[in-house]
Amino acid sequence: MKYSKPGSILVLLISLIIGFSCQRDSTEWANFVDSFMEQYFEYEPTSAVYAGRHEYDGQLPDRSPDAINAYIAWLKGQREAAQRFEVDRLTESERFEREYLLGEIDGQLFWLEKAGWPYKNPRFYGLSPDVYVSREYAPLNERLRAYITYAGNVPAAVEQMRSNLQTPLPKTYVQLGRIIFGGLASFLADDIPGIFAAVDDQDLLADFQAANATAIQAFADADEWFQGLEAGATDDFALGAELFSEMLWTNERINLPLEELEAIGRADLERNLAALDAACSKYAPGASIKDCIAKVQAAKPADGPVQAAREQLTGLKVALIELDLVSIPGTEEALVNESPPHRRWNAAYIDIPGPYEENLPSIYYIAPPDPSWTEAEQQAYIPGLADLMFISVHEVWPGHFLQFLHANRAASKFGQIFGSYAFTEGWAHYSEELSRDIAKLIPFGLLAVFLLDISTLSLNAPFAVLQEMFPVLKMLVYYFLFILVLEITLRLLFHGKKY
């Protein structure tokens, strides 16, 4: 097709206008996302601190009803603003980021409005000081100053929680409240003073002691308050089918009918039960499933699960590298420690520094059994070595820790900050199945040795031994030849002679 000169100029001008318009929209979208995250951190300073934005150190979010309503209104306004961006004027990655942002907003609005989390669930009130005491992002004195600010803000935050929670609460929420706030009280009283004991600024330490005592009292009072709710607690914790379906869509963009989702879940349950039955028929022939599992669980870590997990992580990482299963994008490591008291409602979890941090280790925490339990209950709670291996796979290699090494390096800063619960846990459980599939290819005992010390499966060592044997074999050949010649000579010389 031929164009006239004026027509060609017109086409060129239209192309330039469209290109400039798309570039402008892309710039405006990037600015919008940056503005969203900065305003989000203002509303949620605790999230900012855990992401590594330490200008927010010590601050706690305002959880008064007016502040909660203001945050809800802001989210709705941001949703409307994001929808005004025309998708055909954005790049493919920006269109994905737009849907990602809308999904994040929908998920937060669900928990705030539909599920009513601020008025029902004590876990909504995240008041953990872990970032200041376990993450060495700054010198100890600086982290202590941040902690003092945090501790000074605790009483008001606890009071907002108590004012907001509508009683009676479900029994499980009451139990959760006692574990969290009773655990925080003991953590602040028993563990935190020792962490900051090395600080040599006496004025700073005096401020710490005063603020810490106030925070301890606030947490202890909250624990006592939850204890008083135990008698009237209910079993009314379920979301119900309608809200559950809405949760799946707003949080994960899953719109399957619940009947279909249940069928998928039950089919997967049957698949796993069949795999368990097959494994037990080999591991414990003739035993019941219960006895088979008890046999697996009986192999407890001799030096405790924390030390055993440390050893497992070394072998798991080497295995991933040698088998070339996944890429590891950084040099960060995961440490293993015992869970602090206020986080022991979770048997194991990992605390991963946010994307604004640099070169800091993650910490994989394992909860000890409750000392108030019987000895038998405590022993049953400690994972066996096989279960612990799968927990280590789930939490670290190649589970959550590896995923977040990649996520913290995502091209989208929004993607670094916000994530999908289904994808995060889905990857960790997929990692467990991946490990199980590898175990099918390698005899179990050999796999255990392999995970603990991969050098035992290296072919270099046997080859080195063979090379060392060659001179010895050569000498043996010469020796046998000498003996043979000597035997023949003696037979010839003394043939027929008698002694």
- Encode pLDDT of 113-148 as tens digits: 999 999 999 999 989 999 999 999 999 999 999 999
- ∠ CA 6-9-14, nearest 5°, is 125
Spatial distance between the Cα atoms of 404 and 49, rounded to a whole number of angstroms: 17
One domain, residues 117 and 146: yes
User: What is the rounded CA–CA span in Å between residue 124 and residue 165?
Assistant: 10
Q: What is the mean pLDDT of residues 343-366?
A: 95
Residues 268, 415 within the same domain: no
Q: State the Cα torsion 19-20-26-32 to the nearest 10°.
A: -160
Question: Within this chain, do residues 308 and 449 fall inside the same structural domain, yes or no?
Answer: yes
Instruction: Answer whether residue 490 shows pLDDT above 80.
Output: no
Residue with tokens 């040698």: 322
* 3-class state of residue 2 by DSSP: coil
Whether 293 and 432 share a structural domain: no
Identify the pLDDT of residue 126: 85
Contacts of 467 (CB under 8 A, 6+ apart): none
Asked if the structure places residue 3 within a domain, the reply is no
312 near 291, Cβ under 8 Å?
A: no
Assess whether 305 and 293 both reside in one domain.
Answer: no
Residues 390 and 371 in one domain: yes
Structural domain includes residue 222:
yes
Peptide linkage before 383 cis (omega within 30 of 0):
no
Q: Does 153 lie in the same domain as 113?
A: yes
Report the amino acid identity of residue 413. K
Q: How many residues does this entry show for the chain?
A: 499
Sequence-ordered strand ranges (E) for 315-452: 334-338, 348-351, 362-366
pLDDT tens across 311-335, in order? 999 999 998 998 888 999 999 999 9
Q: Distance (Å, rounded) from C-alpha 75 to C-alpha 53?
A: 21
Phi, psi (degrees; rounded to nearest 5) at 386: -65, -45
pLDDT band for 442, please (50, 70, 90 cuts): low
Q: Could you give the 3-state DSSP secondary structure of residue 366? A: strand
How high is the pLDDT of residue 289? 95
* Closest C-alpha to 174, from 112, 237, 130, 239: 237
Judge whether 243 lies within some domain: no
Confirm whether 351 is domain-assigned. yes
Domain boundary among 211, 229, 247: 229
Last residue of a domain, one of 274, 298, 322: 298
d(CA 440, CA 464) in angstroms, rounded, equals 30
Q: What is the pLDDT of residues 389-410, one digit of tens each?
A: 999 999 999 999 999 999 999 9
Helix, strand, coil abundance in the chain, percent, nearest 5: 70, 5, 25
User: Both 401 and 468 in a single domain?
Assistant: no
Domain tally for the chain? 4
Sheet holding 348-351, edge to edge: 334-338, 362-366, 348-351
Compute the chain's Rg from CA coordinates.
31
Q: List the single range of 21-35, 74-88, 238-252 with lowest mean pLDDT.
A: 21-35
pLDDT band with cut points at 50, 70 and 90 for residue 216: very high
Q: Which residue has the tokens 């020792």?
A: 194
Judge whether 226 and 183 are in contact, CB under 8 Å.
Answer: no
User: Residues 235, 171: contact at Cβ < 8 Å?
Assistant: yes
Convert the pLDDT of each residue in 271-312 to its tens digit.
Answer: 999 999 999 999 999 999 999 999 999 999 999 999 999 999
User: Strands (DSSP E) along 190-314, which ranges?
Assistant: none
Banded pLDDT at 457 (limits 50, 70, 90): very low
Distances in Å between the alpha carbon of 362 and those of 152, 180, 304, 315? 27, 22, 20, 18
pLDDT-based confidence at 489, cuts 50/70/90? low
Which residue has better confidence, 469 or 151? 151
Q: Indicate whether 351 and 274 sit together in one domain.
A: no
Q: Are residues 269 and 388 in the same domain?
A: no
Domain carrying residue 293:
256-298
Average pLDDT over residues 405-417: 95
Residues 356 and 370 sit within 8 Å (Cβ to Cβ) = no
User: What is the pLDDT, as a whole number, of residue 180?
Assistant: 96
**198 and 280: one domain?**
no
- d(CA 107, CA 253) in angstroms, rounded, equals 9
Residue 9 lies in a domain: no
Q: What local confidence, expressed as pLDDT, does residue 324 receive?
A: 87
CB atoms within 10 A of CB 492: 8
DSSP 179-207: IIIIHHHHHHHHTHHHHTTT---HHHHHH
| Structure-token match 């499933």, residue found | 289
Alpha-carbon dihedral angle through residues 371, 377, 383, 386, given to the nearest 10 degrees? 160
Q: Tell me which residue of 373, 351, 343, 364 sits closest to 176, measured CA to CA.
A: 343
In a domain, 87, yes or no: yes
Residue 444's pLDDT band (cuts 50, 70, 90) = very low
What pLDDT is attached to residue 365?
Answer: 97
Q: Which two tokens stand for residue 427?
A: 């990857």
1-6 long-range contacts, CB within 8 A, separation 24+: none
Residue 33 covered by a domain: yes
End-to-end CA distance of the chain: give it in Å, rounded.
120
pTM to 2 decimal places = 0.81
- Distance, in Å, from the CA atom of 133 to the CA atom of 129, rounded to the nearest integer, reads 7
- Identify the pLDDT of residue 154: 98
Q: Is the pLDDT of residue 455 over 70?
A: no
pLDDT band at 7 (very low <50, low <70, confident <90, very high): low
Q: What is the mean pLDDT of the chain?
A: 89
CB 29 within 8 A of CB 84: no
Examine residue 206 and state whether it is found in any structural domain, yes or no: yes
Q: Is the peptide bond before 61 cis (omega within 30 degrees of 0)?
A: no
Structure tokens at 28: 């405006």
Same domain, 294 and 306: no
For the ranges 24-33, 189-198, 202-211, 295-304, the lowest mean pLDDT is seen at: 24-33
